[in-house]
Structure 1
């Protein structure tokens, strides 16, 4: 392969060979790079091997197997592009990702897709979910906390007032699940949390907290199938009041985001049929979902017992993506075998 293709001047060939030696990603690639460099220095023609050698330190095996293309102005800057890959400079650093909302916030489909992809790839987050109706039958507010430090664990807890019951679910060791309960401290001051392995009879099925949270994120994709044109309302404040401190953390209470409104078809968990509903979606300047509110009136069920219009609502607040989140996994010595009595 050495000398199989012309890259440019002898200097270019030599640079390719030097890159292979410095990167050292593959021994064979390095040898090929050296050969390419020598050939370039001697006669101005570097083989494909020289180019592969130059990139082996940056992209490893991918550089050997991928398709290499030098595009337009990249020739002047030394920026090589791997097909279907991010631009890579000669120093080996990828260009930073710019979310669509930062450059074209009115491209709704792209903004929504960015928001979902970024959220699902986050290494930490907190989330508040509350589904309710004005006719009774509300679900309890649910808190999600997730962190991959020191290992991937998601916490899901449901609260009635200050009292809550939850689970700590290690993604890579489901058998290590720990249940917990938050209740007023026996001293009468503040709250305390107790941990236990066996929740006992009558406990709701554990389910998969991570999958449940991902369903919440993907519910934002309903905006892609909006039944009316989505309106970009501009950038403004996002509601923060009533959000629990454990979810807010040190995040600035003055949240702002790009707001989108319209109507979509929503499946509410506590109602059998899909409902056409209005929505408000806020997206952060960084491209992450911030708040998603859906509110609809079921067809054929227009009034509550009190005569009010029957309304179903889902509120989801996404917070602290890729920030420090303490899930609070306990030491083994803190975990009871069964749920202690208050």
Structure 2
């Protein structure tokens, strides 16, 4: 088990799973200065921040509309009380909160390392003592939380980080506070998908069974409950506990303390210390990915070497009552950090939402405002903004002689009612949609009608036999589209051509929405160059046109190549090209996300 210090982080140097701050992300939350965005889901955002003492934190910011629902703030206050009192070995420590803010937030220590999902995807299932240590660590975290009359209710592999010190369970209290499952519902216990009965810690034990089975086999749950679950390569030492944990009736499952006693071989004494000893002896092979450089011109915010000591110290304590904790003060806005009372002034004036303005040595606006003639910097920022946008629509198509006569791809991403990304492949009159906080569930659909001037009706289905798996994942295809656009722009010397109205030539009705896209103003860049060895045509002249909007997001891209001869149907000169039209970045997007009962088990008619 490693106790090495955390790497030094700033806004230019972030862990691989942390995105740079977006334009709508706060500069600071409470006493914490934000460095980047970790995740976004239906409840809000998880942000990486730095405390006044230099240590890193994760700040969960809850959407105002979620927080203002009935009893949510009261439940958040109760969950913060548990976090304040908690000292689990295998959960991050509480750092601060303000549940009365317009957008409530709570902060815990930042735990570096891959999630269980990422580790299994990259390295395969866990084996031997490391697997046993994971099972014990998860049971310890749950047992500690349940002792405070809490329940996680949102466990899945994305909520477990494999740190160098051991497994850490994230987001305790959040699902119960907001009153719904956060993430992939396949991991939820049967009672969480049932008649509205309030789930308890028994649901966490069911999730524990699925998590340990996943860690041992790489198998994800189907969402169905079976009497005899297939355990595959789960070792015999763990199989009986997993079978008991996956029983359909909550009362027939073991408790988390029972799991912990069985896994540590102790029936009394300090079981938290027993888990710490087990991790010290057996937890190996887990490393923290190196941070990567993401952007320049930001003031470094360094993490002190004491952070490693804090992370190591976490392993020394069992979740216990803290008689010195003022629960009411913490829930109302208190912090476990010793904040410098002048830090808010140094960071800039605070607005009504708790976010502060940028300091003077940071960029005050998009590159397009400050240096529109710098085409390379504008293009780089446009790609970054497109990649980190939470919602958008886009229409990509190759064409010959006129747009729309060859393969077209239509993308729509939304965050509401749940995160989803649609890829509509018009030539096959259908496509696929990724659904969930991590876009982990993929369903397929067929379209009727095909005509681009009409919004299609769709039939959704699963593809258990992977007949359409060659389409790939919608997010990978979207990132590939952006790579294609900016690969064209990268080697050419584009010229800034001023402002104007961007073309809108072939956007289908589902992209146009209310029609407000017909006159889009922006900044235009052009380039003319010789494309060598263009198939049978040899060297040809190519023209690039690229537009960005006033905020720096991409609007329009076209690469056009003039060919010999005329098109026999139109009499116009032959040409071919590649075009992408963008819209609705980080705006409300109307996309129907199918409910479970709308998704057929297989493709209709096949």
Same topology, TM > 0.5: yes
Distance change (3 Å), C-alpha of 1:261 and 1:184: closer
Cα deviation for residue 219 of structure 1 reads 3.0
Q: Which runs of 5 or more structure 1 residues have no equivalent in the other structure? A: 1-21, 31-56, 67-76, 81-87
The equivalent position to 2:390 in structure 1, one of 112, 119, 123, is 123
**Paired residues for 1:1-342 under 5 Å:** 23=31, 29=53, 65=304, 80=346, 88-89=347-348, 91=350, 93-95=356-358, 97-134=364-401, 139-160=406-427, 164-170=429-435, 176-184=441-449, 192-198=457-463, 203=468, 205-221=470-486, 222-226=488-492, 229-250=493-514, 251-263=516-528, 277-297=542-562, 302-303=564-565, 310-341=574-605
Give 1:28 shift: 10
Partner of 1:41: none
Give the Cα–Cα distance (whole angstroms) in 2 for the partners of residues 199 and 138 of structure 1. Answer: 32
CA distance in 1, matches of 2:469, 2:605: 18
- Matches of 1:324 and 1:117, distance apart in 2: 20
Deviations 1:21-54 (A, max 9, x none): x949999959xxxxxxxxxxxxxxxxxxxxxxxx
Q: Secondary structure at the match of 1:311?
A: strand
What is the DSSP-based 3-state SS (H/G/I as helix, E as strand, rest coil) of the residue aligned with 1:259?
A: strand
Moved more, 132-141 or 104-113: 132-141
Q: Give the match's secondary structure for 2:471.
A: coil
* Residue 65 of structure 1: how far off its partner (Å): 2.3
CA pair 215-276 structure 1, distance change in 2 beyond 3 A: farther
Q: How high is the TM-score relative to the length of structure 1?
A: 0.63
Alignment partners' CA distance in 2, 1:256 and 1:98? 18
Q: CA deviation at 1:258?
A: 0.7
- Distance in 1, matches of 2:466 and 2:441, equals 19
Quote the Cα distance in structure 2 between the aligned partners of 1:171 and 1:182.
22
Distance in 2 between residues matched to 1:168 and 1:144, nearest whole Å: 10
Cα distance in structure 2, aligned partners of 1:106 and 1:115: 14
SS of structure 1 residue aligned to 2:376 = helix
- Cα distance change on mapping 1:297 and 1:166 into 2, 3 Å: same
Contact 1:200-1:339 at 8 Å conserved across structures:
no
Q: Give 1:181 shift.
A: 1.4
| Secondary structure in structure 2 of the residue aligned to 1:123 | coil
CA contact (8 A) 2:31 2:344 kept: no
Deviation at 1:208, TM superposition (A): 2.3
Q: What secondary structure, in the 3-state scheme, does the structure 1 residue paired with 2:490 have?
A: helix
Q: Cα 1:240–1:65, aligned 2, differ >3 Å: closer, same or farther?
A: same
Instruction: Write the distance in 2 (CA, Å) between the matches of 1:78 and 1:26.
Output: 13
1:169, distance to aligned residue in structure 2 (A): 1.6
CA–CA distance in structure 1, aligned partners of residues 433 and 409 of structure 2? 13
> Following the alignment from structure 2 to structure 1, what is the Cα–Cα distance between the partners of residues 465 and 537?
30
Deviation at 1:102, TM superposition (A): 1.4
Whole-angstrom CA distance in 1 between matches of 2:479 and 2:533? 16
**CA contact 2:423–2:433 (8 Å) conserved in 1:** yes
Kindly tell me the number of residue pairs found equivalent between the two proteins.
Answer: 269
Question: 1:157/1:102 Cα in 2 relative to 1: closer, same or farther (>3 Å)?
Answer: same
What is the CA distance between 1:94 and its match in structure 2? 3.9
Further displaced range: 279-288 or 331-340: 331-340
Q: CA deviation at 1:179?
A: 0.9
Inter-CA distance 166–266: structure 2 relative to 1 (3 Å threshold): farther
Shift of 1:257: 1.1
Find the aligned partners of 2:534 and 2:600 in 1 and give their Cα distance: 33
Q: Do the aligned residues in 2 keep the contact of 1:137 with 1:270 (CA within 8 Å)? A: no
Task: Name stretches of at least 5 consecutive residues in structure 2 with no aligned partner.
Answer: 1-29, 33-48, 55-105, 111-300, 306-342
In structure 1, how many angstroms separate the alpha carbons of the residues matched to 2:412 and 2:533? 23
**Greater share of residues in strand:** 1
Instruction: Give SS of 1:195's match.
Output: strand
For residues 174 and 329 of structure 1, the distance between their equivalents in structure 2, rounded to whole angstroms, comes to: 12
